Amino acid sequence: MMRKYQVQVPRRRGGSNSALLFDISPILANMALDGMEDLIMKRYPKMKVHFVRYADDFVVTTPTREIAEEVKSLISDFLAKRGLTLSESKTKITHINDGFDFLGINIRKYRGVLLMKPSKESVKKITRKIGLVLLKAAAWNQDKVIQKLNPIIIGWTNYHRHIASTKTFNRHSAPNFSCVIFFNMRAQPSNNIS
């Protein structure tokens, strides 16, 4: 597995010894995985084999399960030469009708139509994050709560806006709205309407 490394770069701001930390693991992942796509495309030049990669996450689509098994062993050999292995728990060969999750998006064919939706794990994560903010916000005023929640909600919705996410947004906006109303009632008990 790829380790995460951090590089410390000094900043010049007011003469302080503060430093900017950034994660270089995506850069190292890209360096280690460079050439994988070329290897696959050379091996299957005229077949419908497609490779999509983002840092150390990737998806390979193939026309048959047998070719998918071959590609998996090809990738395993490629990684072994670099001292890396495929994570068996994360590696999955599945039919598109059963779907798969990639970068927080569930990709699946429904009755012959390809749909991409926010994955269940992504929805659980954002709901948990909003809940944690509201738990911490017990003594905050309403402006501070909104100031903390807005970037979280806007960021998540912007990430998922280009996929079929309207039903997911509608389904999860009501509980989140209820949490905010409950917070408001708890913060201002004298203004509650019975």
pLDDT of 6 reads 41
Whole-structure pTM value? 0.69
pLDDT of 181 reads 58
pLDDT of 136 reads 86
194 residues of the chain, pLDDT tens digit each: 444 444 444 444 444 444 444 455 677 777 878 888 889 999 988 888 888 888 778 888 888 899 999 999 999 999 888 888 888 888 888 888 888 898 888 999 988 898 899 999 988 898 889 888 888 887 788 788 888 888 998 898 888 888 887 777 666 665 555 565 555 555 555 555 54
- Nearest alpha-carbon partner for 62 in 71, 73, 75, 74: 71
The CA–CA distances, whole Å, from 127 to 64, 124, 156, 175 equal 37, 5, 11, 9
- Nearest alpha-carbon partner for 105 in 55, 164, 49: 164
pLDDT of 12 reads 45
pLDDT of 74 reads 92
